[in-house]
A and B are shown apart, each in its own frame.
Chain A
Amino acid sequence: EAQVTQNPRYLITVTGKKLTVTCSQNMNHEYMSWYRQDPGLGLRQIYYSMNVEVTDKGDVPEGYKVSRKEKRNFPLILESPSPNQTSLYFCASSLTYNYGYTFGSGTRLTVV
């Protein structure tokens, strides 16, 4: 089944404790992206990648890191999480820039 897989689905952590949210797609998509969803704000892009080893900042990159060492994987790293990073996070992938994204199931992150 073609899909984007994110893990974990739920995560509660403490301020400052490094964490990684994994994302993997099995559709051989070139484009991958991370979004965060907050009430009333819709989804905002954090980072994106157009291919292996090619990543760049989106609208709200502060406090996040990403890497794209393999085409299928695009992990999101929070080096020192803070409470304002409490949010719902989505990984997504796309074959081309105008085709529309396939989204993962989301990761609900709470930082206390």
Chain B
Amino acid sequence: AQTVTQSQPEMSVQEAETVTLSCTYDTSESDYYLFWYKQPPSRQMILVIRQEAYKQQNATENRFSVNFQKAAKSFSLKISDSQLGDAAMYFCASHFSDNAGNMLTFGGGTRLMVKP
């Protein structure tokens, strides 16, 4: 079975500092897609960043970047220059190519707190 694991239930970071959220996954597939979603207190799920497994280059979106280590099956999210608005639940998710129905598999989430 395909699984996604986030081992850090909670993290905190000082405003303007950098924080890295961890995610590991387990699959025997070679073709898949990885995502990070942000869920602020409003509970809206917001797509932060997307990585295609066949691309070696790490995805970046402004202050958000990933460290994708395919051999280690690791997909961490780095947030630079943290802002108060970054405080939220963050979910790692994957779509594996053998999943019928376009199912996303989610990790359990990491709650990020940002200290002023």
Contact = CB atoms under 8 A, between A and B. Distances in A.
Contacts of A56: 100-101
A59 B101 CA distance: 11
Interface of A is mostly: strand
Sorting the interface of chain B by its residue count into under 10, 10 to 19, 20 to 34 or 35 or more gives 20 to 34
A42 B109 contact: yes
Given A33-B103, A50-B101, A58-B101, A100 B47 contact: yes
A101 B104 CA distance: 9
Given A40-B108, A100-B35, A105 B44 contact: yes
Most buried by B among A41, A43, A94, A102: A43
A66 B107 CA distance: 25
Given A97-B95, A106-B43, A45 B108 contact: no
B50 A48 contact: no
Interface of A: 31, 33, 35, 40-45, 48, 50, 56, 58-59, 88, 90, 92, 94, 97-103, 105-106
5 contacts: A33-B102, A43-B106, A59-B103, A99-B50, A106-B45
